[in-house]
Amino acid sequence: MALHEITAAWHDVVLDIAYATAANFTGKPVYTRPGCYLHEDAAAALRRAADLARPLGLRLKVFDAFRPSEAQWVLWNFRPDPEFLADPRKGSPHSRGVAVDLTLIDAHGRELDMGTGFDAFTPLSHHGSTAIPEAAQRNRFLLLGLMSAAGWDFYRNEWWHYQLFDARRYPLLSDADLPEPMMALV
């Protein structure tokens, strides 16, 4: 199964692949390059979401998409927290190419307030949290509505995480399944 590269121009999204930088919960890069890939079904759903956001003057900013199984192990070994990370022995929807972590940005490229940052492993990150400002709650519901209308399911503990329905029907993939590796050769 081929993964499709997600590009800023072709999919009308902004790419800010967090795990290729130190701006993630591990504090160091997990990927050696900021690749962004999705299964063709997920790529089509991402394009639908971008199309729905555009008339509202909004765009999608992607933090992560396909995550090689090797990277899932790196994250799990750093913080084995099943409330926020999939156990790599079971596999993550990210490692199947059918999940995306993202937010909304306005016409000036500013992220909408979602109440917490990406990868904030706290109950405040839950979709239903009412302990965040009302404006942030509205922004989360706006993102939820756009993504749901485009065919995505959500993970209740992470406002930024969306995956295709029945994600487990897709096979697990590794760094070797990419046209160019994202992980460091060991």
Q: What is the DSSP string of 70-127?
A: HHHHHHHHH---TTTS--TTT--SGGGT-EEEEEEE-TTSPBPP-SS-TT--SGGGST
Return the beta strands (E) in 135-174 as ranges.
152-155, 158-164
Give the SS3 label for residue 47. helix
**Closest among 10, 103, 26 to 64, alpha carbons compared:** 103
- Opening angle at CA 153, ends 178 and 122, nearest 5: 90
Tell whether the torsion through CA atoms of 40, 21, 25 and 61 is positive or negative.
negative
Active site residue 111: no
**Closest among 89, 96, 85 to 170, alpha carbons compared:** 96
Pairing of strands 13-15, 59-64: parallel
Residue 62: beta bridge partners? 15, 102
Residue from 5, 40, 111, 158 carrying the catalytic annotation: 158
Which amino acids are annotated catalytic? 158
